[in-house]
Amino acid sequence: MHTKQDLLSLGNLTATELTDLLTLATALKQEWKVGGNAPVLKGKVLGMVFTKPSLRTRVSFEMGMHHLGGHALYIAPDEIQMGKRESIPDVARVLSRYVDGIMARVFAHADVVTLAQYSRVPVINGLSDYTHPCQGLADLLTIIEHKGTVKGVTIAYLGDANNVANSLALGGTLLGAHVRIGSPYGYSLRENVAHLAGQFAAASGGSLTQVVDPHEAVHGADVIYTDTWTSMGQESQAVQRALVFPPYQVNSNLVRLAQPDAVIMHCLPAHRGQEITDEVADSPHSVLWDQAENRMHAQKAVLVKLLT
């Protein structure tokens, strides 16, 4: 087996590798803004496997490949029925004979791990129930743009400590941020993520704190981040979640406890009136649209790194 690189979790990267990706993303964004990217992926094809729908993931990867001179092939959920119609190892074996890289947006993280194991080309995790590394990269890029750095920045995440929170905690602590997770009992970070983020923080001078009180989480924070209370695949828990999460809503009262120049982040889609209010999402503090755009630029860096 020849060695290939995959991107399955930010937790698999070193601080240097993560910094290099973010530096490259910044350069590619600048290049794009002043006249377009060089076609460094000319002749390359990215196969995009979706088992759940998407706006940002599909369009940002497709446009990213287009800007870099390559081509993206969208494979809809019903076309493969990965794991049902055909085994995941076989999908990986076949697809990697046709394309130069695979991006997969899946429910179970084990599926993207299996794809990577049996694929002869690089595999990128476009989202799994465990982690969302591309979103994490976009988040860190956005924080750098608005705060100048990640090191020493206090990032407060409110709500369900889900795949997005996992990536934010891992990437943030790797680069020396003070990450605070404010979640109800039973919805905090997985133990393995908290353990790994704790190790990263010890090495980088950052910190990881988990609290139940949302006010404590956002007090003096530089960044306030939230996400939907019920993710795809958790619909059966929606009623229960709607009872426990309202105190974690990012609204004007909560934002007042943060730094005066705090920025508000959300990976989208936002359920306005639930985890975030219109007033906050559309306020001068909001960097939601920069964050969404940065998915494309962060992923371009990943594509250049893995496919050239």
- Per-residue pLDDT of 177-196, as tens digits, reads 999 999 999 999 999 999 99
Structural domains in the chain, sorted by start: 10-132+295-307 (3.40.50.1370), 135-291 (3.40.50.1370)
Low-confidence winner among 30-34, 45-49, 202-206, 227-231 (lowest mean pLDDT): 227-231
pLDDT digits (tens, 9 = 90+) for 274-300: 999 999 999 999 999 999 999 999 999
pLDDT of residue 238: 84
Tell me what the mean pLDDT of segment 105-119 comes to. 97
For residue 82, is pLDDT > 90? Answer: no
Determine which one of 100, 267, 297, 299 is catalytic: 267
Tell me what the mean pLDDT of segment 214-241 comes to. 91
Please name the residues in contact with 132: beta carbons below 8 A apart, sequence gap of 6 or more. 125, 163, 164, 166, 167, 267
Determine which one of 135, 249, 274, 291 is catalytic: 135
**Sheet strands side by side (includes 263-266):** 207-211, 178-182, 154-158, 223-226, 263-266
Give the pTM.
Answer: 0.97
Q: What share of the chain in percent tops pLDDT 90?
A: 91
227 is annotated as an active-site residue? yes
Determine which one of 291, 295, 297, 299 is catalytic: 295
Tell me what the mean pLDDT of segment 73-100 comes to. 92
Determine which one of 56, 105, 241, 297 is catalytic: 105
For residue 203, is pLDDT > 70? Answer: yes
For residue 1, is pLDDT > 50? Answer: no
pLDDT of residue 42: 98
105 is annotated as an active-site residue? yes
As a whole number, the mean pLDDT across the chain is 96
Instruction: Return the amino acid letter for 288.
Output: L
267 is annotated as an active-site residue? yes
pLDDT of residue 80: 84
295 is annotated as an active-site residue? yes
- Do 78 and 102 contact (CB within 8 A), yes or no? no
Determine which one of 100, 111, 139, 227 is catalytic: 227
Sign of the C-alpha dihedral, residues 88, 90, 93, 96?
A: negative
Q: How confident is the model at residue 2 (pLDDT cuts 50, 70, 90)?
A: very low
Tell me what the mean pLDDT of segment 100-126 comes to. 97
